[in-house]
Structure 1
Amino acid sequence: MSFKERRKSLQKIEFITLSIGAQDFCMDIILVREIRGWSKVTTLPHSPLDVLGVMNLRGAVVPIVDLSARLGLGRYEATDRDVIIITLIGDQTVGFVVTAVSDIVELSRDEIQPMPNIGEGAENLFVKGIVTSDDKTLRVLDINNIGDSMALAREIA
């Protein structure tokens, strides 16, 4: 490994930790625009099962995705205690419903271990790796891949 590659691998990246039910995940904080409390969404006919609907965010129509369903963990019934993580994927604003957002952690690329090859499930497509932080095992979400997987902008627009 060259000096430049080694230096890049040691640089710290900030991740936001979140949970979906009892499952722990994290995502690159640079993609997060805001975190807001749950609010009712407007459902759309013929939308994919993991798209809960859309919400008005300061005049912009934003698709809201059930991250649990998108990851293949089953559909999640949102409650008033849940939160929506508003992200920017390319030029599309997308909201993901999660149970909770808990912390910000700094990780280097070296700390992220590759996902074990255990099948073809959705979680394997959308998880970049695994890291252990504060006695928790966190799966590192690939938010860009999650958004690209179903071309949300074209489905919802």
Structure 2
Amino acid sequence: MTYAAASSNAAVPAPVEVEPRHDLHQYLTFMLGRETFAFSILGIKEILEYTSPTDIPMMPAFIRGVVNLRGAAVPVVDLCARFDRSCTPITKKTCIVIIESGTEDERHVLGVLVDAVNEVLEIPDADIQPPPRFGASIRADFIHGMGKVRGKFVIILDRASVLSVEEMAAIAHSDAAVTQPAD
């Protein structure tokens, strides 16, 4: 009996349909100082090696400047500075995470400066606790939840709050108004 004849008599198992888990979400984890943070991978476009952004005058400290991404000027937000901490020190592991943010009507592409990118994790909804009411190292509205991973917590950020273009523009406008000389 040849191999072809033997294989044609073998039973072929029916394909198994796997239900997608709606209670499991993927998050890109990254470091800011010694803390681990995460964004949902939805909206994350790519991760770039650090390149020095071009400075933009009269921007708040958390806007490091812009980088050229395939011909488009993409603002770079320093998350440490956005969280009212000192600016991110640049090391060999520093990355810029390119994220699309905004509403369906108005999308914005932003770069987010982080100390290092770790990994993509799947975290079940059952392992995500609500943000703490007090004692957090950042604004409570910036936190989507606290994901429990391998016995430790990962701070899952609320992308819409952290990267609110309207809020960042208002801050930039108020900073510019303060630095304008009076007539």
- State the TM-score, normalized to the length of structure 2: 0.73
Corresponding residue number in structure 2 for 1:40: 52
CA contact (8 A) 1:72 1:123 kept: no
Cα RMSD (Å):
2.4
The answer on 1:57 being equivalent to 2:51 is: no
The answer on 1:150 being equivalent to 2:135 is: no
Find the residue that maps to 2:55 and give its secondary structure: coil
Structure 1 residue runs without a partner (length 5+): 1-8
Bigger Rg, which one: 2
| Residue number among 21, 24, 29 corresponding to 1:17 in the alignment | 29
Corresponding residue number in structure 1 for 2:109: 93
In the alignment of these two chains, the number of paired residues is 148
Corresponding residue number in structure 1 for 2:11: none
- State the TM-score, normalized to the length of structure 1: 0.84
Corresponding residue number in structure 2 for 1:5: none
Within 1, Cα distance between the matches of 2:153 and 2:22?
20
Hey, which bits of structure 1, 4+ residues long, moved more than 6 A?
none
Distance apart, 1:108 and its partner CA: 2.2
Identity %: 29
**Which is further off, 74-83 or 108-117?**
74-83
AA aligned opposite 1:52: R
Structure 2 residue runs without a partner (length 5+): 1-20, 174-183
The answer on 1:117 being equivalent to 2:117 is: no
Larger RCO (CA under 8 A, 6+ residues apart): 1
Within 2, Cα distance between the matches of 1:153 and 1:14?
31
